[in-house]
Every structure is written in structure tokens, then in C-alpha cells.
Amino acid sequence: MSDAPGKYIPDPDGRNADFYRHLARGTLHLQACEGCARVLHPPRFLCPGCGSEALVFKPSAGQGRIFSWTLTHRPVDPGWAAEGLPYATVVVEMEEGIRLVGGWRGTPDVLCLDLRVQAEVEPATEAFAYLYFRPHVPAHVPPSV
């Protein structure tokens, strides 16, 4: 067993709690408006597009593209040093049109704008999970004969 401290585990509340409760079950869900179909993030109580309160969480395929990233060489929380230094935190523009922030799986050397990525969930508690992204590997399609 390692003596290294673990990462801080947040205890989300409000609408963020709904987002992270879905994530803690192992899948990414995004809040969407049933009135106008707009996808929202961060989660809200009212749709900013049509004012509807009919907001539900729908599963996401977790695919998007790198919008931006930053490298951390000296983490404030020493628990993150186990990620390997420097580690990257990425901003991803999801196919649903919203942006999410997450950790990066793998070497930061491959990061570039518009890189296709796939979400990956690391549950921590029943109420919280860490969100990561890794390069998207397209499914193998055999050549047609």
C-alpha cells in the first residue's frame, strides 16, 4: 500500500449533485431540456433557452474534441501527483455542444486542438466520480470486399 495521499473527493450539492450521481454510477449523463432539446452544462433549474423546468438527464456517448488544456507541474493537492507530472486537464467540446472539464488519460504529448476524445469515468464514492478523457479510437471497420 502506498503512503501517497489520495486525491481530494468533492461532495457535490445542488444540481451538480445530480450530474455527479449519474457519473458515480459509471456513465456520463448530460442535462437536457424537454421543452426545446437544448443540452445544458453546468446543470440548471431552468432552461436558459425557453424557461422550462422540464430538465432531465440523458446518457451521452461521451465523445467530443479538445477545445483547450493546461498542464500542471506542481499540484496544489498532492494526491494528484500520482497521475504523473506534468498531468493535463482538458476542456472538451462535446458532440452535444456543451463543454466539459476533465482529467487527461495518457501522455500530454498527443494533445492538440480538435483531437477526438472519449470520456472515461472513475467512480470515487456513491455521490462523486472523476471525469477523464482519452484519445478516441474509432471502432475497427473491416474493409468491404
User: In the complex, which residues of this chain contact Zn ion (CB under 5 A)?
Assistant: 33, 35-36, 38, 47, 49-50, 52
Using only C-alpha atoms, what is the Rg of the chain?
Answer: 17
Shortest Å, Cβ 47 to Zn ion:
3
* Nearest Cα to Cα of residue 9 among 126, 90, 134: 126
Of 50 and 110, the one with the shorter C-beta distance to Zn ion is 50
Long-range contacts from 47-54, C-beta under 8 angstroms, 24+ separation: none
Of 33 and 119, the one with the shorter C-beta distance to Zn ion is 33
d(CA 45, CA 56): 10
Of 50 and 71, the one with the shorter C-beta distance to Zn ion is 50
Shortest Å, Cβ 67 to Zn ion:
23
